[in-house]
Structure 1
Amino acid sequence: MTAKVTAGQAGDDPAVPTVTELLAHRARDSPEREFLRFGEWSWSFAEIDDWTSRLAHRLIEVDGVQPGDRVAIMLPNVVHWPVVWLAALKAGAIAVPINSSYQRADLAFVLRDSGARVVFTDADRSDLIASVVAGEDIRVVDVADDGAEPFPATPPAVPIDGGALANLQYTSGTTGFPKACMLTHDYWVRLGWICASATGLGPEDVLLTAQPFSYMDPQWNTALALTVGAPLVVLPRFSASTFMADVRRHRATFFYVLGSMPTLLFKQPPTPEDRDNDLRLVFCSGIPVGLHARLEERWGAPWREIYGMTESGIDLFSPFADAGAVGSGSLGRPVPTKQVRVVDPDGAEVPDGEAGELVIAGTPMMNGYWNRPEDTARVLRDGWLHTGDVVIRHSDDGIRLVGRIKDMVRRGGENVASVEVEAALERDDLVVSAAVVAEPDETLGEEVKAFVQLAAGVPSCRATAERIVERAGKELARFKVPRYIEFVAEFPRTPSERVSKPALKARAAADPGVTYDLGTRRGFVSVDLVRDVAVLTLRRPEKLNALDVATRLRLAAVIRELGTGERVRGIVLTGEGRAFSAGMDLQSTPSSGAEMREAFASFHDITRAILETRVPVVAAVNGLAVGGASELTLCCDARIGTPATEYFQPENGRGITISNASSVLLRRLVGNHAMRVVLGSPRVPADEALRIGLLDEIVEPGALIGRAVDIVIEWTPEGNTTALHLALLRPRAEDVEAAFAREDLAAAQAWESGLLTAGIEGFLSTDRASKEEAST
């Protein structure tokens, strides 16, 4: 058997049909050559061949394993993992890899579904496994003492051919329970053969892997190492901060990374040692288009896209000689043993340039899903594997991925591919990684939400969210730009280092973080979700958050939408900048009686909206509450302020008619202080506001929103009657409507007499004079 497979041999049948014969050949041809390296320890081909033969005998003679029995492996990345795998195959058994981080439910499912007779594990997991298999006829073997030593180092006489099952390889289980792909010896051998042909690797190379061995990548890396006679370095886990240092230390010439791994690697701080490595080539799945050339430049080796699935092994790749593939976004072209088509939902092939599902035929290919004939029939139809990936085929540069059929956001009739939005977000230096999901929306059906992991030192605030979305918006169509942004410290991931979106959404539902709603910024009203509480922020600091009519209407509509209690537990109103609000935007005052009436009606509408909610509404007053600000806070069920909070109602002193909330609500809150507050127009500082009842509590600025949210949480326990009590505690609707009518009449009289216009002009003149005096 030659140590090198040439590029022209990819379509040939492998020289050796089984994984176990591959190992036997290497042990005969190169017995002392290094095969496996874990940390500072290494084993030769002959040592692994002997060890696996002895362990295979133990499986047969002690554990009673017969051909076709299942042997489970639940271990981290230690040498015993590939040893048990190869030993099980020598015994004619079928290996069942189990994620070493599985807990009771996942573990019980895989053991029950596979029908495993033996489980190999370590001391850290033995108690868990013992509790799961209690009362069942399943042997548990601790690899610290595998009992193989007394047995002969010659392989057992078990006939095995290429069509024999080698693995029940469970998929990552991103939707529901995982399914087990039935993979043969020929699958693994052919996978190693094709990769050897594509890379041109030989005995002088050093392969390196960091993914969990329970996932397929380290296993096909093992088959590749056996095919080319090169050592395989196995790291305990993937760590972006230490990975390239390990590549240098082990003098690796080849590795494979996928998913977010390239982005995580690139976003590590550059070092002078980056190009001080022995890398010759890198295989990767999911190379960020915008980073592709920069990845190659930084580490000085060609990175090429390879596409495949557990079900099919390797399907597409870009040759290392194809420099045109760099940054093209192409998944490559089919390997010689595969045929591909791009089809519509009815199975008809679509023209080049149109999106469709990628379907694949050829070898290697799974035999189907274990115990799942219906699932097998769904994805394997007439010899074609339906991948679920949406792609576009171009005659000149191969196939490009658009997204997953089930990983799309259907926004108002437009299809948004999550992968496209994620790529745009991840090109931002502020972003380490992103995951895009669909958020239900009553109007559009679904909205685009992005979970974002930020680079070190970047603040997780609204300004950052806006900056990220603004940048992405320069690359994406408007309907693809995320409306919602939620920052996360890290992502739950599958064994293949892909983000587990079901786990991510479940985590967000159980422990929601701050969600920035960037779609509601119109009219200077933003909505963020904090622990299921909507935080509405008035954003116009250059005008003290002054509200024009459009903003007031928007605010009322948002309060009504959220006030039903179906989406949030309560509402917090706050401001940004120097003040909570300044009510009417006096820079754009009414120019007619109709506009005046519209202005007052819009303020009435906010009051109605707040008082009609079925959830608590809390004002978080961050500074000067002047004019309309005090009106809004009076409508709320509680007012939390900071030491900087100051109430000021200057209307009467300026000849401007007051708003409805003061006339109806203020006296209820502050009693005999109401006359002084309205008619005297004093500035009421925080401590005085607390004393007379305008504020319920004073906290430090950094605690303001959190305390307001806490109040809502406290007032809305499970099974509560909050809505009923709010209706009883708030002022009667007829009292409020009577106040509206009195105010409208007074406003009309003030308008007709010119007093209202004069009052506004007097305010503006005083304001201009103050600014001129300050400037001199």
Structure 2
Amino acid sequence: MVVKETPQREESAASRRPQPAVRPEQMGEDPPTATLTALLAVRTRRSPDREFLRFEDRSWTFAEIDAWTSRLAHRLIERDGVQPGDRVAIMLPNIVHWPVVWLAALKAGAVAVPVNASYRRADLAFLLRDSGARVVFTDHERAGLLKEVAGAQADLAGLRVVDVADDGSAAFPETAPAVRPTAETLANLQYTSGTTGFPKACMLTHDYWVRLGWTCAAGTGLGADDVLLTAQPFSYMDPQWNTALALTVGAPLVVLPRFSASGFFADVRRHGATFFYVLGSMPTLLFKQPPHPDDLDNQLRLVLCSGIPTGIHAQLEERWGAPWREIYGMTESGVDLFGPVEDASCVGSGNLGVPVPTKRVRVVDPQGGDLPEGEPGELIVSGVPMMRGYWNRPEDTARVLRNGWLHTGDVVVRRPDGGIQLVGRIKDMVRRGGENIASAEVEAALERDEEVTAAAVVAEPDEILGEEVKAFVQLAPGVPADRTTAARIVDRAGRQLARFKVPRYVEFVADFPRTPSERVSKPALKARAAAEPGVTFDLGARRGSGGVSTAPADFLGIDVVRGVAVLTLRRPEKLNALDVATRLRLASAVREAGTGENVRGIVLTGEGRAFSAGEDLRSVPTSYAELRTAFESFHDITRAIVQTRVPVVAAVNGLAVGGASEITLCCDARIGTPATEYYQPENGRGITISNASSLLLPRIVRNHATRMVLGSPRIGAEEALRIGLLDAIVAPEELVGRAVDLVLEWTPENNTTALHLALLRPRLDEIEQAFAREDDAARRTWESGVFSAGIEGFWTAKDGRE
């Protein structure tokens, strides 16, 4: 009996789902109505009394909006002298007059010019001159500013400023004017946010908006019984395509005055919204709000988003009980990629979706060549809808639209499942020491932290590395804005990122300047930071003149001597013993200097009477996981050294024990002093050696390798020179100078040193195979108890001597 009832309940639920206005298989078809004005007329004829627009607690039907926009269109033509193609600007907050003026301007054959309601004099003067607007509709709050701007500019003297409090339309007919726009008639000059300089206006036709509404209707499955909701400023394109969507499906559009993370879902519940679109930081800001008992008390069927944070994607769906799907597009191109609603496998994947039927996409290199799956490149798009170009910007148009393809400026990769994954913006990258870092990736890692509300990553100029990674961080309430917090947040983010991507600088901010699309405005952020600098925490510690950050507590010193980076272990009271953190920092410093962009080579040496005593036995592993971490940190140094493009020379100033002697073996040469002494006591203590001994030592000293490892003799400088462990012995005061001389000798002008190093050094696959063998040996040593017994024996013997 229960088995029979289950499908009946499912069938009943399915029958209550709104019927889609456009079926998914129709997405690639041409819309049956060619213009937005005709779409309004069709909707008014079919359902005149259905709700169309809802602002605050007032709403208007399709018939009411149709009549109002017709009256206002007549006013524009007959009183203001607007002719087809003239520009009508709209500078209003989110009030009903915004879409009314927009649709009225289109009925008059004019071109709408959305204006950010927060613009001031310079922005306004530019936009009004650039667009050539004849009329601007605004409210009382902004009318005075517009009149001031127009009065101060000779070429704006004829601009008419209309206050919508009394738009003068009441006396005009409620039937539409005789003007008949076509699909190709220009509808908008839609100004982009503009990341540098003044914004550019995308020329968008009626067909652009109608196709955008049609495509989104087919993708979402929305129908007349749905309720759409938007909270972005109407001057931005999202509420406008939401309006086109509402006209396409015959559903009401709820417009909030502004986006408020704390009150957003209360509005969703209050209005019975079944659909909304968010983007930028909005999903993260919503998720950071405290959970509410009413979170699941909503009518949502679907959320569309551009840039769903992958780490919280599943939690967003679980918390509010509706699928969240990606939609990708630009002002220039409308919609390009769509995440199918039924594809649950995309959740948390970062997949932007697949191309809509009317679009083709490619991933290309800087020369325009197609790239294979998994290779990052620029996303380019062709098809419809698409802007005609940039208004008054033929050079910019030619740069972005090439041979029918729009160059988006976004770096993406093709996924094995056929989808597209975003890497970052070409212009929103940090180039640090030869490595390209996508700001978006670092921001996502930071924003996963519960102590972080939002983050923005920018490039900080650096004399040596070119650029460093700086993070502006907005903290959750109650979290102290101090160095300890900065270090804690960066440490947690660093566990998700490659080391070169981890921010060096952190500056805490109370909020972020944002674009109308709720993205952080990085130009404004950097300008604010320059004008009113806050406290910036440098988590790279002190820099040497080589531009490579020192290790914690200055255990690693950096100097540049005649163009060569000299890395000095500085813990002489502990014989320069190395813990995991210091080894990782050493590997990082080698990588930073090893690109060859700023120095000709690297010299490794120690301070005091020891090069290094190797593993710090006061911080030895207490679990196998810690042992693996310790081994990996030694492996990391080896990888760093053998992958440099410059010579690496060890200046062995004294005792080199265990892992430290193995570090010198990874170098291309070893210069010693009479005090140099090699000692590898691991076998006698039950501590497994690392790859430098198992792979590199036999290459260097041949038949002496077995004796050195198993017999653990102390090998002085002269014997080390005789068997080839050292290349030369010099006086202590000459040691670093001689090592630097050797680097300079090997790196003449127009050299091919990097190529020869790659040929002479062991291949990385050989080293990785050695790593695997040694990791297995380390595991067996740990499991047998020999490792722990060896460490305990060391301390017992040491205590006895003391």
TM-score above 0.5, yes or no: yes
228, 236, 245: which one aligns with 1:224: 245
Residue type of the alignment partner of 2:94: N
Residue type of the alignment partner of 1:486: E
Corresponding position: 1:147 with 2:164: no
Structure 1 portions without partners, runs of 5+: 529-535, 541-547, 558-583, 591-596, 600-776
2: CA distance between counterparts of 1:586 and 1:231?
74
Corresponding position: 1:56 with 2:77: no
SS where residue 540 of structure 2 aligns?
helix
Residue type of the alignment partner of 1:151: F
2: CA distance between counterparts of 1:156 and 1:381?
38
2: CA distance between counterparts of 1:243 and 1:412?
43
Contact 1:53–1:152 (Cα < 8 Å) also in 2: yes
Residue type of the alignment partner of 1:101: S
2: CA distance between counterparts of 1:373 and 1:316?
27
1:174-219 deviations in Å (ceiling 9; x for gaps): 2111000000000000000000000010010000000000000000
165, 187, 201: which one aligns with 1:180: 201
Corresponding position: 1:41 with 2:67: no
57, 76, 83: which one aligns with 2:93: 76
Match of 1:126 in 2: 143
Corresponding position: 1:104 with 2:93: no
Match of 1:329 in 2: 350
Match of 1:310 in 2: 331
462, 472, 486: which one aligns with 1:451: 472
1:485-524 deviations in Å (ceiling 9; x for gaps): 111111111111111111111111111111111111699x
SS where residue 335 of structure 2 aligns?
strand
1: CA distance between counterparts of 2:543 and 2:473?
23
Match of 2:402 in 1: 381
SS where residue 450 of structure 1 aligns?
strand
91, 94, 108: which one aligns with 2:111: 94
Residue type of the alignment partner of 2:452: V
Matches within 5 A, 1:441-520: 441-520=462-541
SS where residue 172 of structure 2 aligns?
coil
Contact 1:316–1:334 (Cα < 8 Å) also in 2: yes
2: CA distance between counterparts of 1:48 and 1:288?
38
| Root mean square deviation, CA, Å | 2.4
Match of 2:742 in 1: none
Match of 1:657 in 2: none
1: CA distance between counterparts of 2:70 and 2:542?
67
- TM-score scaled to structure 2, two decimals? 0.66
SS where residue 329 of structure 2 aligns?
strand
* More deviation, 73-82/494-503: 494-503
Match of 2:25 in 1: 8
Contact 1:330–1:397 (Cα < 8 Å) also in 2: no
45, 49, 58: which one aligns with 1:28: 45
Corresponding position: 1:67 with 2:84: yes
290, 295, 306: which one aligns with 1:274: 295
Residue type of the alignment partner of 2:366: P
Match of 1:164 in 2: 185
1:301-329 deviations in Å (ceiling 9; x for gaps): 00001100000000001111000010000
2: CA distance between counterparts of 1:589 and 1:329?
48
Match of 1:204 in 2: 225
Instruction: Flag as ranges the 4+ runs of structure 1 deviating above 4 A.
Output: 584-590
Cα drift, residue 586 of structure 1: 10
Residue type of the alignment partner of 2:118: S
Structure 2 portions without partners, runs of 5+: 1-18, 561-569, 577-605, 609-802
Match of 2:311 in 1: 290
* More deviation, 454-463/264-273: 454-463
Matches within 5 A, 1:672-687: none
What is the percentage of aligned positions where both structures have the same residue? 75
2: CA distance between counterparts of 1:101 and 1:72?
14
Residue type of the alignment partner of 1:162: A
Residue type of the alignment partner of 1:149: A
Residue type of the alignment partner of 1:273: D
Cα drift, residue 588 of structure 1: 5.4
1:212-237 deviations in Å (ceiling 9; x for gaps): 00000000000000000000000000
SS where residue 524 of structure 2 aligns?
helix
Q: Aligned in 2, Cα 1:75/1:585: closer, same or farther, shift over 3 Å?
A: same
Match of 1:414 in 2: 435
Match of 1:678 in 2: none
Contact 1:283–1:306 (Cα < 8 Å) also in 2: yes
Cα drift, residue 286 of structure 1: 0.7
SS where residue 255 of structure 1 aligns?
strand
Cα drift, residue 395 of structure 1: 3.2
Residue type of the alignment partner of 2:106: L
Cα drift, residue 360 of structure 1: 0.2
- TM-score scaled to structure 1, two decimals? 0.68
SS where residue 219 of structure 1 aligns?
helix
1:377-402 deviations in Å (ceiling 9; x for gaps): 00000000000000000131500000
Residue type of the alignment partner of 1:52: T
Match of 1:645 in 2: none
SS where residue 81 of structure 1 aligns?
helix
* More deviation, 214-223/391-400: 391-400
SS where residue 450 of structure 2 aligns?
coil
1: CA distance between counterparts of 2:489 and 2:20?
50
Match of 1:193 in 2: 214
Contact 1:3–1:227 (Cα < 8 Å) also in 2: no
Match of 1:351 in 2: 372
1:589-648 deviations in Å (ceiling 9; x for gaps): 99xxxxxx988xxxxxxxxxxxxxxxxxxxxxxxxxxxxxxxxxxxxxxxxxxxxxxxxx
SS where residue 75 of structure 2 aligns?
helix
Contact 1:419–1:436 (Cα < 8 Å) also in 2: yes
User: Across the two proteins, how many residue pairs are aligned to each other?
Assistant: 548
1:232-256 deviations in Å (ceiling 9; x for gaps): 0000000000001000000000000
Corresponding position: 1:438 with 2:459: yes
Residue type of the alignment partner of 1:193: W
Cα drift, residue 539 of structure 1: 8.8
Residue type of the alignment partner of 1:49: D
2: CA distance between counterparts of 1:26 and 1:502?
43
Contact 1:91–1:156 (Cα < 8 Å) also in 2: yes
SS where residue 328 of structure 2 aligns?
strand
2: CA distance between counterparts of 1:288 and 1:414?
24
1: CA distance between counterparts of 2:20 and 2:138?
34
Residue type of the alignment partner of 1:371: N
1: CA distance between counterparts of 2:543 and 2:191?
47
Contact 2:55–2:96 (Cα < 8 Å) also in 1: yes
Residue type of the alignment partner of 1:146: D
SS where residue 182 of structure 1 aligns?
strand
Matches within 5 A, 1:589-604: none
2: CA distance between counterparts of 1:277 and 1:139?
45
SS where residue 508 of structure 1 aligns?
helix
2: CA distance between counterparts of 1:277 and 1:51?
33
2: CA distance between counterparts of 1:21 and 1:159?
9
SS where residue 304 of structure 2 aligns?
strand
Cα drift, residue 432 of structure 1: 1.0
Contact 2:487–2:539 (Cα < 8 Å) also in 1: yes
2: CA distance between counterparts of 1:162 and 1:398?
31
